[in-house]
Homo-oligomer: A and B are copies of this chain.
Amino acid sequence: MIDADANVFVVDDEESVRKAIARLLRSVGYRVVTFATAREFLDSERGEPEGETAACLVLDVQMPEMGGFDLQRELNAAHAELPIIYLTGHGDIPMSVEAMKGGASDFLTKPVQDVDLLKAVEQALDRARELNAEQAEHSRVRERLDRLTPREREVMGLVVAGLRNKQIAYELGTTEKTIKVHRARVMAKMQAPSLAELVRLAERIGFPEKARP
């Protein structure tokens, strides 16, 4: 079954293609927004960046000015993780392979069969939902981490490294007593019911970040 709460963005310079694709996708219940150029898409406000609704992009490879691959590069640079389905009239195997290596969700040739496109969109949206779920959890945890004071962050780093309070106190040149207070605050602010959970939270967001070499 199809989850109707999904956005599909279509970027193609040919109006006939945009219309045909939009009609097809709307007919099965997707919300569709079309764009004639990559620039137009980038400048648009496409709703929430912290995605609540799944979204994917159907993207023409060959377009004047900014092509599909250029757009993908822009999106990656902007951290906007959005599954992409490429569409092309003049593609070859090396191009499709490069696109897939670059993380594309699919790569189809025009004229595209309706079933093929629908299947590709479904897959892309599934990917989007997974990405959204991950990212939502990730930013929820980072938000808590941001509320820690510098000292608390230090303490947390050493706690998840497995050091005991006494050792942490020595490392930071203070007393065990103080560490206990910081530690308790860390647990509270991070909303960790146990040390095990704190470690998992830290792992998930890659804390602490590695030192620069």
Q: Do the beta carbons of B162 and A193 come within 8 Å of each other?
A: yes
Tier of interface size on chain A: 20 to 34
Distance in angstroms between the alpha carbons of A30 and B94 in the assembled complex: 25
Interface of A is mostly: helix
- For the complex, is A97 an interface residue (Cβ under 8 Å from B)? yes
- For the complex, is A100 an interface residue (Cβ under 8 Å from B)? yes
Of A72-80, A170-178, A197-205, which binds chain B?
A: A197-205
Q: Which of A91-106 contact B (CB under 8 A)?
A: 91-94, 96-97, 100-101, 106
Q: State the Cβ distance, A53 to closest chain B Cβ, in Å.
A: 25
Q: Name the residue of chain B whose CB is nearest to the CB of A159.
A: B196
- For the complex, is A1 an interface residue (Cβ under 8 Å from B)? no
With beta carbons under 8 angstroms apart, the residue of B97, B106, B196 that contacts A199 is B196
Copy total for this chain: 2
Distance in angstroms between the alpha carbons of A96 and B160 in the assembled complex: 44
Please list the residues of chain A having a beta carbon within 8 angstroms of any beta carbon in chain B: 91-94, 96-97, 100-101, 106-107, 109, 159-163, 193-197, 199-200, 203
| Contacts beyond the supplied A92-B93, A196-B199: 19 A-B pairs with Cβ under 8 Å | A91-B93, A93-B96, A93-B107, A93-B109, A94-B109, A96-B97, A97-B100, A100-B100, A100-B101, A159-B196, A160-B196, A161-B196, A162-B193, A162-B196, A162-B197, A195-B195, A195-B199, A199-B199, A200-B203
Q: What are 30 residue pairs bridging A and B, where the CB atoms are less than 8 Å apart in the complex?
A: A91-B93, A92-B93, A93-B93, A93-B96, A93-B107, A93-B109, A94-B109, A96-B97, A96-B100, A97-B100, A97-B106, A97-B107, A100-B100, A100-B101, A101-B106, A159-B196, A160-B196, A161-B196, A162-B193, A162-B194, A162-B195, A162-B196, A162-B197, A163-B194, A195-B195, A195-B196, A195-B199, A199-B199, A200-B203, A203-B203
